[in-house]
Chains A and B, each alone.
Chain A
């Protein structure tokens, strides 16, 4: 069935390190893809999105490219800061799920000074 697989955390990094969080999905069709971020004690907020193949979403130094051939939407940041410590959720919009977001399990990222 349609689903999303996100790498498990926690991911612990030092400040200025490179961050990659893998996300792959299975879906019949052509979903839009989203990354959401949840900072401690807060609700989720949209980080970036991509709606078609080879689109690159970007925001706050984060990037993710829609790879249709590998059904992936990996999140990257070249130099993380302590303030990037949060939980990151990959979320494809899968039509078979009623055109609603299907959230991955989330990846907790901890950046140490």
Chain B
């Protein structure tokens, strides 16, 4: 059971570079989410999707873009990375609101 898979697991960027995080789920879930986790701040929602072709802003969307072209994939893009975006990023999917399945996380460092 793959569940929710995130790639890459680790990445180091220089300020101003761009990158894309890929999230893939094999559970046929409608809902998908991107969170960031920072020390002492819990999880904060960046963007989410309630179905293929839809996206919406979460709590901290600035500096990020997302796409959900296929139901099983949810991409998170950083257009111009900044040190403030150094964080651990988690993708999650859900069939029912509230019952989330999380990936293992992607640790991003921006120098």
- Interface residue ranges, A against B (CB under 8 Å): 32, 34, 36, 41-46, 49, 89, 91, 93, 98-101, 103-106
Known: A105-B40, A105-B41. A93 touches B97 (CB 8 A): yes
Asked if residues B105 and A43 are in contact (CB atoms below 8 Å), the reply is: yes
Q: In the complex the two chains form, what is the Cα distance from A38 to B101 in whole Å?
A: 12
Q: Would you mind naming 9 contact pairs between A and B with Cβ atoms under 8 Å apart?
A: A41-B104, A43-B102, A43-B105, A45-B102, A98-B56, A100-B48, A101-B100, A105-B40, A105-B42
Q: In the complex the two chains form, what is the Cα distance from A42 to B44 in whole Å?
A: 17
CB B9 to nearest CB in A, in angstroms, measures: 10
Asked if residues B100 and A44 are in contact (CB atoms below 8 Å), the reply is: yes
Return the contact of A43 from the options B42, B58, B90, B99 (Cβ within 8 A).
Answer: B90
Closest to B90 in A: A43
Asked if residues A101 and B98 are in contact (CB atoms below 8 Å), the reply is: yes
Q: In the complex the two chains form, what is the Cα distance from A19 to B29 in whole Å?
A: 34
